[in-house]
Structure 1
Amino acid sequence: MADEKKGILFTILTYTIWGFLPLYWKQVDHVPSDEILTSRIIWAFVLTVIFIFLIGGGKKLLADVKSLWQSKKTFFSLMFASYLITANWFLYIFAVTNDRIVETSLGYYINPLVSMLLGVFFLKEKLSNATKVAFALAAIGVLILTISYGTFPWMAFGMAFSFAFYGLIKKTIKLDALRGLALETLFVLPLGLIYYAYLFSNGSASFLHEGAATDILLIISGAATALPLVLFATGAPLIPMYMIGFLQYIAPTLMLLLGVLVYGEAFDRTNLISFSFIWVALALFTTSKVMEARSVRREKLNAQH
Structure 2
Amino acid sequence: MQRGVFYVFSSFLLWGLFPLYFHALRHINPVEILGHRIVWCLVCLGLVLAVRHQYRWIGTVLKTPRTLLVFAGTSLLICANWGVYVYAITSGQTLEASLGYFINPLVSVVIGALILKERLRLAQKAAFGVAAMGVAWIALTTGATPWLGLCLAVTFAFYGLLRKIAPLGSLEGLSLETAMMMPLALVYLGYLWSTNDLGFANANDTTRWLLLAAGPITAVPLLLFNAGVRLIPLSTTGIIQYLSPTMVFLIGLFCFDEPFSSDRFIGFVFIWFAVGLFAVESFLHARRAR
Q: TM-score range by the shorter chain?
A: over 0.9
Q: What does residue 302 of structure 1 align with?
A: none
* Alignment equivalent of 1:38, drawn from 8, 22, 35: 35
Task: Report if the CA contact (8 A) 2:104-2:153 is conserved.
Answer: yes
User: What is the percentage of aligned positions where both structures have the same residue?
Assistant: 37
* Alignment equivalent of 2:73, drawn from 65, 70, 80: 80
Shift of 1:203: 0.6
Task: Report if the CA contact (8 A) 2:40-2:213 is conserved.
Answer: yes
Shift of 1:50: 1.1
**Counterparts of 1:244-255 in structure 2 under 5 Å?**
244-255=237-248
Q: What does residue 9 of structure 1 align with?
A: 6
Shift of 1:290: 1.2
d(CA) in 1 for partners of 2:127, 2:39: 39
1:147 is matched by which residue type in structure 2?
L
Q: What does residue 290 of structure 1 align with?
A: 283
Q: What does residue 27 of structure 1 align with?
A: 24
Q: What does residue 151 of structure 1 align with?
A: 144
**Counterparts of 1:178-197 in structure 2 under 5 Å?**
178-197=171-190
Instruction: Provide, for residues 276-296 of structure 1, a one-character-per-residue CA deviation record: whole Å limited to 9, x for no partner.
Output: 111111111111111111111
d(CA) in 2 for partners of 1:174, 1:291: 30
The structure with the largest alpha-carbon Rg is 1
Task: Report if the CA contact (8 A) 2:193-2:201 is conserved.
Answer: no
d(CA) in 2 for partners of 1:39, 1:135: 36
d(CA) in 2 for partners of 1:227, 1:267: 32
Instruction: Provide, for residues 67-98 of structure 1, a one-character-per-residue CA deviation record: whole Å limited to 9, x for no partner.
Output: 21222111110111011000000000000001
Structure 2 unmatched runs, 5+ = none
Shift of 1:174: 2.8
Does residue 110 in structure 1 map to residue 93 in structure 2?
no
140-149 or 80-89, which deviates more:
140-149
Q: What does residue 52 of structure 1 align with?
A: 49
Instruction: Provide, for residues 101-148 of structure 1, a one-character-per-residue CA deviation record: whole Å limited to 9, x for no partner.
Output: 000000000100000011101111111111111111111101111112
Task: Give the secondary-structure state (helix, strand or coil) at the position aligned to 1:174.
Answer: coil
RMSD: 1.0
Q: What does residue 216 of structure 1 align with?
A: 209
**Counterparts of 1:240-279 in structure 2 under 5 Å?**
240-279=233-272
Q: What does residue 167 of structure 1 align with?
A: 160
d(CA) in 1 for partners of 2:95, 2:104: 14
d(CA) in 1 for partners of 2:21, 2:190: 25
Q: What does residue 93 of structure 1 align with?
A: 86
d(CA) in 2 for partners of 1:148, 1:255: 23
Shift of 1:65: 1.6
2:43 is matched by which residue type in structure 1?
V
d(CA) in 2 for partners of 1:277, 1:230: 33
d(CA) in 1 for partners of 2:272, 2:144: 21
d(CA) in 2 for partners of 1:72, 1:191: 21
Shift of 1:157: 0.6
The size of the alignment, in residue pairs, is 290
d(CA) in 2 for partners of 1:192, 1:268: 38
Shift of 1:197: 1.0
30-39 or 140-149, which deviates more:
140-149
Shift of 1:13: 0.7
1:240 is matched by which residue type in structure 2?
P
Could you tell me the TM-score, scaled by structure 2's length? 0.98
